Structure 1
Amino acid sequence: MVMHDKFGRTYQFNIFLYVLHYSKMKYITLTWDRKQDTLFECLKDAFEYTEGVPKEIWFDNMRTVVDRPRTQYKKVVFNNLFYQFSKDANFEPIACRPYRPQTKGSAESLAKFVEQRLRPYDYEFYDAVELIGLVNDLCHELNHLEISQATEQRSIDVFNYEEKEHLNSFNAKLLDTYIENECIRIISKESMINFRKGKYSVPTKYIGEEVQVIFNNSTDELLIYSIS
C-alpha cells in the first residue's frame, strides 16, 4: 500500500493481518518489509495482543512461510525455520490452497476493508509515527468499538467470554530468538532507517551511509552506530 503525508512524502508499506476465526478478534499492524523475521515479530506481537496462540493458523503461500505451495497433487513444504517457529510457538501451520478463495476470503476481504478505511487519510498525516498510529487506532476500533457482521457482537466481547480460554500458552522469550536484533542499514534520503516495524530518524549528515543497528532486549534500547 502507498500513502503520502501532508508534505507529499511517499510511504510504501504492508499491513499484517491476523484474525481469530471464532470471535473475529483482529491484530493489525504496519510493516515496512516482508522479511521472515518481520513475520515472526508480527506473529509474536499478535500472540501477546490476544494473550495466547490458536491451535491452527492458516497462511497464504508467501515465500517466508512455504518453500513449495500446496496443490491438488502435492503436499505443502514449509520453510524449515518457519516450521520450527510454529513448533516453538505451539501452533499447527496450514497453508491455503492456491486459487481456492474460500480458504482465505476472510483475510482478503479484511485487507480491502482496511485499505478503504486508511485511504481517506492520504495526504492528511504528518509522518511515519502518525501513520503507524492510524493503523493501531483502526485495530482498536474494529475490536472494541464496532459490531462484527459475522457475530453481531463486538469482537472483544466474544473473544473474552468464549474464545480466549481456549488459546494455547507460549514462551515469548523463546520466540524472541527468531527476531533480528542486529543488522546493517543504509540511511535513506529522508535520514531514516527501517528496523523491525518502525522508522527511526538519524542526523542528516549520515544520509547514504551504512550504519550498524543493534536492539538491546534487556533495556529495550535501539543503538545505531556509524561504520563508515
Structure 2
Amino acid sequence: METPQEVERMLQLHARGLSQRTIAHELGCCPRTVRRYLRQGGWQPYGQPRRSRRLDEQIAWLREQFEQHRGNAEVLRQELLRQKGIDVSQRTVERAVAAWRRELRIRQLATVRYETPPGRQLQADFGQCAVSIGGERRRVHLCVLTLGYSRRLVVRPYGHERQANWLQAMEEAFRHWGGIPEQVLVDNARALVRRHDPASGELVFHPTFLAFAEHWGFTPRACRPYRPRTKGKDERGVRYVKGSGLAGHTFRSWGAMEAHLAWWMREVADVRRHGTTGERPLERFQRDEASALRPLCGKPSFLAEREQKRVVAKDCCIQLEGNWYSAPQQLIGQRITAQVRHQTVRLLHRGRIVAEHPLQSANHRCRQVIRSHWQGLLPAEQLQQARASLQPAIPDRCQATPAVGPPATRAVRTSSLARSLSDYAAVLTEVEA
C-alpha cells in the first residue's frame, strides 16, 4: 500500500504525460499499483465492504425512538418487536445505536456556565448525610439555599424533606438576607412540583407552593428533569456543606448542630474566597446583591396560619413539624385538625377546639403535654412512679428549655423527658403486674 504522498506524486507524473510503466519505475512499485490508484483517482484506505445489517431499513425510525427513550437499548428492542415485528437481541440494537449513544453522552457532559445578575435567582435543594448526634448516627436532611450571583448560602437541617420544611427554609433565608430574589429555582420534589414532563415541557407546581410564591412575590421555576446541573450552583453548595460544614463533626444535640451550622455560615462560608467568582460571598453580596433584592416590607410569614390533618397516637400526642402536642385520650386513633394561628397550635375535632399549645420551633423534638390528657391512663401509684422515673415530673403543662413561646408555657425537649428503653420497660413491667 502506497502512502498518500506517493499516490499524489503518481497523479502529478501522469498529468505530465508519463506512462504508467515509467511512473512505476520512478517510484519503485508495480505498474498495476499505478493503474489501480489512477483508476481510483487518488489514495483510499483499505477496508472491507460494509455488510448489510438487519436494522438498516429502520434507521430513521430507530433514531426517533432513540431520542424518545433516551438511548435505552432494551426499550428499543421491545418497541422493535411490538411495533415492527422484528425480534433481535439487545446487543444488536446496541451496535446499531452506538454512535448515537456517544453523541448523547457528549451532549450530557457539555455545559455552558450560566451566570445571573444580582438579585435574579435563588437555587434551593435538599441533601442528606449521616451525623452523630447525642452518640447516635442520625440521617439529617439539609436544605441548602444559594444566591446565584453572590453564592451566599443558607443551610437549615431537618428530619424530613416535607413541604413545610421547604417553605420554612425559604422564609428564613429571605429574612437572613433581608430581601427576596426574582426567581426561585427548585428541584422536581413532590412537595413542590406535581408534574413535570420533559418531553412536552408541561410543568404543574403544587398549589401551596404557588400560593407561597405569590405571597412573597417571586417566580417559581423547576429545573429540567434528570438534569441537576440546571441548578449546579446549589448542587455544589450541598456538597460543600457536607464536606466542610458537617464532615467529621459530632454534636451533643440537634440544637448544637444548628448552632454550629449558624457559626459555620457566618465565619467560614460567607468569608471564603469562591473558586468561580474569585471573591468572598459576603463582600459580593453587600456590594452588588443586597440592594438588588426585593424588600420584605414587614410582610408576615406565609406559615403563620395553616392547617394540617393528624391522627392522635397511642401516647395521646400528634406530631407536627418535628414536635409533639398532646390531645385528650378519648381521641386516640381519631383524625383531628391542627391549626397554627399566631404562634399557637389549636387541635380541633369535629369543629370543636379540644386543646391549645404554644408553637415550638420546627424539629426541636419538643413534647407539649397537658396533664389532664394523661390522667387515668395508669393507676395513681403507677402514674406517680412513672412521673418519678421520667423526671422532671409532668405538671399541668410541662415547662421548657428556651424555645418559642412565653416562659410559663414552654415545652420540655424530648431529650429531658425521654429516657432509655430500660426505664420504660421497668415502668411497663410494674403496670402489667
> Which stretch of the first structure deviates more once superposed, 46-55 or 67-76?
67-76
- Verify: 1:4 aligned to 2:170, yes or no: no
* Cα separation, 1, equivalents of 2:219 and 2:286: 23
Mapped to 1, the partners of 2:306 and 2:260 lie a distance apart of 25
- Residue of 108, 118, 135 corresponding to 2:235: 108
Matched, 1:32 2:159: yes
Cα separation, 2, equivalents of 1:162 and 1:219: 40
Q: Give the distance between the partners of 2:404 and 2:292, measured in 1 at CA.
A: 30
Q: Which residue is equivalent to 2:283?
A: 157
Given the superposition, is the C-alpha separation of residues 9 and 153 from structure 1 closer, same or farther in structure 2, using an over 3 Å criterion? Answer: same
Amino acid across the alignment from 2:364: G
Q: Secondary structure at the match of 2:284?
A: helix
Partner of 1:46: 173
Q: Is the 8 A contact 1:69 1:76 kept in 2?
A: yes
Q: How far apart are 1:159 and its partner, in Å? A: 0.6
* Structure of higher RCO (CA pairs closer than 8 Å, 6+ residues apart): 1
Identity level (%): 20
8 Å contact from structure 2 (residues 135, 252) kept in 1: no
Higher strand share: 1
CA drift at 1:30: 0.9
- What is the aligned-residue RMSD (CA, Å)? 3.3
1:200 counterpart = 2:366: yes
Does structure 2 retain, via aligned residues, the 8 Å contact 1:57–1:94?
yes
CA deviation profile, 1:164-207 (whole Å, cap 9, x unmatched): 111112354142335679977878xxxxx92314233788749x
Instruction: Report the residue type matching 2:145 in the other structure.
Output: Y
**1:140-155 equivalences in 2 (<5 Å):** 140-155=266-281
Which residue does the alignment assign to 1:209? none
Contact 2:152 2:270 in 1 (8 A): no
TM-score by length of 1: 0.78
Tell me how far 1:42 sits from its aligned partner: 0.8
Q: 1:128-168: CA deviations, max 9, x gaps?
A: 22122222222223443211112211111111110111111
TM-score scaled to structure 2, two decimals? 0.43
Q: Any stretches of 5+ residues in structure 1 without a counterpart?
A: 188-192, 207-211
- In structure 2, the CA distance between the partners of 1:128 and 1:71, relative to structure 1 (3 Å rule), is same
Following the alignment from structure 1 to structure 2, what is the Cα–Cα distance between the partners of residues 55 and 185? Answer: 41
User: Is 1:166 the equivalent of 2:292?
Assistant: yes
| Whole-angstrom CA distance in 2 between matches of 1:130 and 1:180 | 30
17-26 or 172-181, larger mean C-alpha shift: 172-181
Q: Kindly indicate whether the alpha-carbon contact (under 8 Å) linking 1:40 and 1:178 is maintained by their aligned counterparts in 2.
A: no
Q: Which residue of 1 aligns with 2:248?
A: 120
Deviates more, 1:32-41 or 1:59-68: 32-41
Partner of residue 190, structure 1: none
Q: Is residue 97 of structure 1 aligned with residue 234 of structure 2?
A: no
The 5 Å alignment of 1:205-224 reads 205=390, 219=406, 222-223=410-411
Deviates more, 1:167-176 or 1:67-76: 167-176
Paired residues of 1:70 and 1:95 also in contact (CA < 8 A): no
Deviation at 1:67, TM superposition (A): 0.4
Say which structure is richer in helix. Answer: 2
Rg: which structure is higher?
A: 2
Instruction: Write the distance in 2 (CA, Å) between the matches of 1:126 and 1:165.
Output: 39
Please list the CA deviations of residues 37-64 of structure 1 after superposition, one character each: whole Å capped at 9, or x if unmatched.
Answer: 1211111100000001100010000011
Which runs of no fewer than 5 residues in structure 2 stay unpaired?
1-128, 316-320, 324-361, 369-386, 392-396, 398-402, 413-433
Question: Retained in 2: the 8 A contact 1:24–1:155?
Answer: yes
